[in-house]
């Protein structure tokens, strides 16, 4: 009997934002796999650690922090092989995913390489966590809400931002200055808020207009949600 | 001392998808308020019920299921008054919200009428729950993801759908036939999936192309996420 592969969302940072289902599964699954990078360590593991069966076997999937894809592909190959061995031996395996496994997660690259029954436990995303931190709706009524990765080209971002009252910019990092300019150009800058490390111990909330010009936010999301009426008047 | 007003996301339907934080707070907060409608009952209360302090005072906020806003405004006025009395007496109050409180929720209408410290506990959205149910990424890498309420005008929806590989259509209801047509017109129909009652006992998953033409989905979300490459070839 092949084991089941669980993709488990650990939520954005606060260990109390795991779901009851995630906590129950982590307490009993005998094998826990998790992504680990040189720079950032193993954030999903840190979030979930207190709930993990102390006798569980741990399998780190060591991911290179580089933009080219070949080394990452090789890392997923190696990780998937170690996980498949456990599944083939009849053990269930949980793969920990920061936030939600299917919201811009990398778990699918692993899943593509696994041959086993799969179940996904959704997690709290950084999106809703950031909104909770600033107590402001992401979107309401019949507003569109766009999730926009910062690496997209300027023209694309400008077009998307220009036609929505509500947006969330993810993967900001080194694109911060460029994004700030685009938000200014599309009427979003005034109400935009930068949320770093949402719900984590280092959580920091800064209005975009107050964000220092020579710095860059970390593990951040920028929320733009003026509300349809306020925005259309801007 | 004024009490604290907690907005608590109960998640999409499965009671195990409450967060540990939500469960902890619900076990101790002395007053629980929740939305109730004639047609749909009190879904958030049903989801959270087993975690609520059995001695808690319950305050239903009875919402009319109508499109005009005045009756709803009056309902929030009445609900907010009952809640404010408790807060003024120094009691913490938790207001239960299906899914996440700030993702197209109605909690903000209540919050606008409350004068007290506020804390938000994010919840699992129907968006990520639906993706988990079909084990398919909502979006990956640098794809845009658009959340589009079905009541938006055709031209608007068509423009938005025409420029994204990944979208989720919410508030489908009576707009279903129109939405199906728009998804067909924008190359999204082939990979679109209708998820009803995500993670709930009545969960049903149907490919859009298999959905019976004379019926309408309930409590549903339509996920369109072919992947950037597949979609741009369509």
B205 Cβ contact partners less than 8 Å away, ≥ 6 residues apart: B133, B134, B193, B194, B195, B196
B103 to chain A: closest CA residue? A138
| A116-134 core/surface letters (b: 16 or more CB in 10 A; e: else) | beebbbbbbbbbbbbbbbb
Span B229-233, average pLDDT: 45
Contact A141/B109 with Cβ under 8 angstroms?
Answer: no
- 3-class SS at B46? helix
**Among B15, B118, B136, whose Cβ lies nearest the Cβ of A102?**
B136
Tell me what ipTM this predicted complex has. 0.94
Is B121 a residue whose pLDDT tops 50?
Answer: yes
pLDDT tens digits for A30-73?
Answer: 999 999 987 778 999 999 999 999 999 999 999 887 666 788 88
CB contact at 8 A, A105 and B137: yes
Flag if A19 and B18 touch (Cβ within 8 Å): yes
User: Three-state SS for A145?
Assistant: strand
Asked which of A213-227, B23-37, B99-113 is least confident by mean pLDDT, the reply is: A213-227
The alpha-carbon gap from A149 to the nearest alpha carbon of chain B, in Å, equals: 5
Please judge whether B147 and A163 are an interchain contact, meaning their C-beta atoms are less than 8 angstroms apart.
no
pLDDT digits (tens, 9 = 90+) for A149-162: 999 999 999 999 99
The mean pLDDT value for A121-142 works out to 95
């Amino acid at each position: 009997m092949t084991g089941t592969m669980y993709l488990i969302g650990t939520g954005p940072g606060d260990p109390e934002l795991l779901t009851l289902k995630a906590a129950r599964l982590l307490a009993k699954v005998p094998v826990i796999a998790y992504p680990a990078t040189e720079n950032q360590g193993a954030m999903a593991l840190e979030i979930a650690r207190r709930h993990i069966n102390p006798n569980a076997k741990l399998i780190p999937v060591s991911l290179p922090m580089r933009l080219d894809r070949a080394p990452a592909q090789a890392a997923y190959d190696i990780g998937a092989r170690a996980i498949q061995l456990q599944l083939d031996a009849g053990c269930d395996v949980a793969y920990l995913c920061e936030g939600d496994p299917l919201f811009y997660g990398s778990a699918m690259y692993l899943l593509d390489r696994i041959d086993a029954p799969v179940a996904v436990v959704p997690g709290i995303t950084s999106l809703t966590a950031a909104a909770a931190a600033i107590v402001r709706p992401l979107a309401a009524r019949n507003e569109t809400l766009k999730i926009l990765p910062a690496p997209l080209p300027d023209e694309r971002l400008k077009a998307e931002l220009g036609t929505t009252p509500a947006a969330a910019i993810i993967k900001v990092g080194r694109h911060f200055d460029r994004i700030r300019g685009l938000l200014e150009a599309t009427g979003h800058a005034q109400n935009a808020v930068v949320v770093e490390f949402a719900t984590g111990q280092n959580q920091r909330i800064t209005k975009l207009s107050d964000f220092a010009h020579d710095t860059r936010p970390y593990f951040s999301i920028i929320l733009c949600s003026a509300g349809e009426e306020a925005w259309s008047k801007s």
